[in-house]
Structure 1
Amino acid sequence: MKALTKTEFHFDGQKSVYHGKVRDVYDINDDLIVMVATDRISAFDVVLPKGIPFKGQVLNQIAAKFLDQTADICPNWKLATPDPMVTVGLKCEGFRVEMIIRSILTGSAWRAYKEGCRELCGVKLPDGMRENERFPEPIVTPTTKADEGHDLNISKEEIIKQGIVSAEDYAIIEDWTRKLFARGQEIASKHGLILVDTKYEFGKRDGKCYLIDEIHTPDSSRYFYADGYEEKLAKGEPQKQLSKEFVRQWLIEHNFMNEPGQKMPEITDEYAKSVSDRYIELYEHITGEKFDKAAEEGDIAARIERNVKQYLASRK
């Protein structure tokens, strides 16, 4: 099974390329963005040494579907998906915050709560909550967007006070965050899933706000199976989930949280395939469609380059 972990394309009009943890982002004439979802996988702010076959395709295609299914709520950056692993869209100036919204106390929020934290990003949390219990209503807990290292929790008031986002723009993107999440929950529920939490990124172009980047993918979101949720909660058992959290848990079990002196465990081909299977499982659950694996014959990078060049030429 092949995995694409690195790209070095040279497209007409290319101004720059940014290699993120998972995505490689090509700037075309300061007007368009070619975003390649690679098969890299990251956890605890480190990219794992082995790629996960079809992961990039899963992420790209889920995000593309949700961008289309939420375009009535807010404008977004997507123009086309010329390849299963690529989205081309409008270049926007991204806000330096990620809008995280949570409906259930789990993950890092639960870890902080267990340590005694009762306020998250300026939002007060009730006493006596259990792991995986629903909040009375979804809470928005933004983080500052860091170029390197950990994103940091920040309150709405601090974001506005520091001038990271204006009060007017923040009101718009917070409203969109809640509406996008409600739509995501509605779609998930039709497929027997609970959209537990997720993050959105927004930007501006010509004075107008846009939804940018990926949405509702297993890298940016956490899903629980609805079936058995209440019973597991009542018994204090772990929830069956579809998200990247299972990779984090595997790393924790192998004594790795990217702390000094810790060594990355070996990612075997078998483990990489099992992660690939989980990503495909999520795709099929959340979309209700069978996952159609992109052709593996030949060079994945060559296929992407050919498809993107063809698309860019068609816009001239």
Structure 2
Amino acid sequence: MLENAVKETHFKFQGQTDFYRGKVRDVYFFGDKIAMVASDRISAFDVVLPKAIPYKGQVLNQIALKFLEATSDIVSNWVINSPDPNVTVGKQCEPFPIEMVIRGYLAGHAWREYRDGKRTICGVPLPEGLKENDRLPEPIITPTTKAKEGHDMDISKDEILSQGLISEHDYSQLEKYTRALFARGTEMAQQRKLILVDTKYEFGKFNEQIHLIDEIHTPDSSRYFYEEGYELRQSKGEKQKQLSKEFVRQWLIENGFQGKEGQKVPQMTHDVVNSISERYIELYEQVTGETFIRARNVDILDRIEKNIEKVIYVQ
């Protein structure tokens, strides 16, 4: 039922106070609460691709809920409940203007910077002699700005404090929470024979208390390697087997698109869309260890709207 993927929602709820559309989420505001719809839109290289991917929103929403619940003893989070497979209702937090990226391995953006000669990333020094995907001596925090459009930019702790983006006390708390969350995520990944390579966390405040917001430890916000064969592949200089949406980026690169000016997104055929959907379902089952149960995919927008109404008006 590819035509029933959730590309956009346009609900008008009684009592709705605002609306925001992000790259992949539609957010409805109700005073101090929000209803966040995980759409089936997919982005890569900071570009929203033209076709939605069936069940992608459900996959990300349900993985995030699992990990938010599993880390609630570390830091409070924004979730109140989930009335629909694609929806989370929670507290409207005032977000901090940065994302806390933490890396246990030299991969992705950090590797590309290192490969090009940089030995300091976001103010954090890195040793000489590292190879792509090597484990770092200890996890490093490399924050980024939060861009409403375009690319997030690297930023150091010193720059964050000197620009007054966050108080020193709050930043210290964010660092503490980030390291504890990454440690918990690493433990949970190991139980699934996976390596949590890097990830990002977003935080905000509700009633002056720091809360973890958005999604965590999903394949869209994190990179995983398969534990089995990691050391052998590293010793041979081979690419690591990844569990992330890197396969989408690779498909785009192979078809001449990296989000640069003048480049066009390659055609997303029925087979391409279907294969991406199946890969997301595979990701869910690998990360959670649970069988993915496809939500009813008929009249999906009507289902989401009614399920939000059921909880918003009784909150």
Same fold (TM over 0.5): yes
Distance 1:243 1:84 in 2: 21
Comparing 262-271 and 65-74, the one that deviates more = 262-271
> Which residue of the partner structure matches residue 10 of structure 1?
12
1:74 to partner: Cα distance: 0.4
CA displacement, residues 106-137 of structure 1 (integer Å, 9 cap, x when unaligned): 11111111110111000001111001100011
CA displacement, residues 260-309 of structure 1 (integer Å, 9 cap, x when unaligned): 22111011111111111111111111111000000112x11100000010
> Which residue of the partner structure matches residue 199 of structure 2?
198
Distance 1:272 1:19 in 2: 22
Alignment RMSD (CA, Å) = 0.8
Matched letter for residue 12 of structure 1:
Q
1:313 to partner: Cα distance: 2.2
Q: In percent, how many aligned pairs have the same letter?
A: 61
Matched letter for residue 112 of structure 1:
E
Matched letter for residue 7 of structure 1:
T
How many pairs were matched up?
313
Write out aligned runs for 1:224-303 (5 A): 224-297=225-298, 299-303=299-303
1:207 to partner: Cα distance: 1.2
> Which residue of the partner structure matches residue 107 of structure 1?
108
Distance 1:11 1:216 in 2: 31
> Which residue of the partner structure matches residue 127 of structure 2?
126
> Which residue of the partner structure matches residue 26 of structure 2?
24
1:12 to partner: Cα distance: 2.4
Is residue 85 of structure 2 the alignment partner of residue 84 of structure 1? yes
Matched letter for residue 302 of structure 1:
D
Write out aligned runs for 1:214-225 (5 A): 214-225=215-226
1:238 to partner: Cα distance: 0.9
3-state secondary structure, aligned to 2:175: helix
Distance 2:15 2:209 in 1: 24
Structure 2 unaligned regions, length at least 5: none
> Which residue of the partner structure matches residue 75 of structure 2?
74
Distance 1:192 1:204 in 2: 34
Contact 1:242–1:278 (8 Å) recurs in 2: no
Distance 1:235 1:269 in 2: 37
3-state secondary structure, aligned to 1:18: strand
Distance 1:83 1:309 in 2: 11
Runs of 4+ in 1 over 2 A off after TM superposition: none
Q: TM-score, normalised by structure 1?
A: 0.98
Is residue 30 of structure 2 the alignment partner of residue 63 of structure 1? no
Q: TM-score, normalised by structure 2?
A: 0.98
Matched letter for residue 4 of structure 1:
V
CA displacement, residues 164-215 of structure 1 (integer Å, 9 cap, x when unaligned): 0110000011100000011011001101111110000000122111100110
Matched letter for residue 150 of structure 1:
H
1:314 to partner: Cα distance: 2.5
3-state secondary structure, aligned to 2:17: strand
Distance 1:61 1:156 in 2: 32
1:139 to partner: Cα distance: 0.5
1:51 to partner: Cα distance: 0.6
Distance 1:274 1:163 in 2: 45
3-state secondary structure, aligned to 1:172: helix
> Which residue of the partner structure matches residue 35 of structure 1?
36
Structure 1 unaligned regions, length at least 5: none
1:312 to partner: Cα distance: 1.3
